[in-house]
Structure 1
Amino acid sequence: MSSFQIIVGSMLGGSEYVAEACEETLIALGHQVDVHLQPTFAQISNENQTWLICTSTHGAGDYPDNIQTFITDLEKSDQDLSSINFLTIGIGDSSYDTFCYAAKKINNILISKGCTEITALLTLDMSEDIDPEERAQHWLNENKDLL
């Protein structure tokens, strides 16, 4: 099984709940999982890892405060990140024109750095009557053969 690094971007805690639900599901599927609630690029393993980015969008399409340093360091990095596979979950409200913009931006950064996207970005719309944790867990189970 794979080794997962769950990288969380959250302002109000919703992304943390989704990340914890994903951690439960990945462990149940037999994967090794580390969750990073205050992610720093230097501390996150990037050799033959699968990264699960779980982030909300703040303000006018900005990253949450806790993930900004990680993003800046990722953008500046010249490391070979081609061994990283990744998945992204964006949490937002579709009534805003910047719906899940932070997740979309980090997705593009990771692709530009040579990382391999396992499956298309999952967006969770909090303006709908959904259980975001359950939706994320269902999505992981649907894609378990790709993980």
Structure 2
Amino acid sequence: MSSFQIIIGSMLGGTEYVAEACQETLTQLGHEVTLHFSPKLEDIPHENQTWLICTSTHGAGDYPDNLVPFVDQLTASTIDLTTTNYAVIGVGDSSYDTFCFAAKRIDKLLESKGCKNKIPLKTFDMQEEIDPEDEAQTWLFVNKDHL
């Protein structure tokens, strides 16, 4: 199976729960999974890997503080990421006009760096979703053939 690097962007910890639920499902599907709570580009394998970005949005559409160094490093990087696959989960509140903006921004950044999108961006609206952990697990299971 595949090797997944789950890269987490979270201010209050809720997105960490989503990432851990994803880890559980991916492990059950036979994948190797590593969680990155304080991601640094140089610490995350990229060749023939799948990166699953789980992030909330902070402030006026900003990345969570723990994700900023990774995004800055990725933006400045010239690493060949053409063998890196990715998927993005955004957790947010649709009452804000910057709903899941960090997830949308990192999705575009990864694509611009040559990464290959495995599954289209998935957003969870905390105004509607009762349990984003369960929803994320279902989303991964439904898309298991694309992983």
TM-score range, shorter chain: over 0.9
Cα deviation, 1:74-127, whole Å, max 9, x if unaligned, reads 000001100000000000000100000000000000000010001110000001
1:127 and 2:123 correspond? no
Larger deviation, residues 121-130 vs 74-83:
121-130
Shift of 1:129: 4.2
Q: % of aligned pairs identical?
A: 63
Partner of 1:35: 35
Partner of 2:62: 62
Query: 1-side partners of 2:13 and 2:113: how far apart?
Result: 28
For the residue of structure 2 that corresponds to 1:140, the secondary structure is helix
TM (normalized to structure 1)? 0.99
1:8 and 2:15 correspond? no
Q: Structure 1 segments of 4 or more deviating over 2 A?
A: none
Count of equivalent residues: 147
Cα deviation, 1:5-28, whole Å, max 9, x if unaligned, reads 000000000100000000000000
> Cα RMSD over matched residues?
0.5
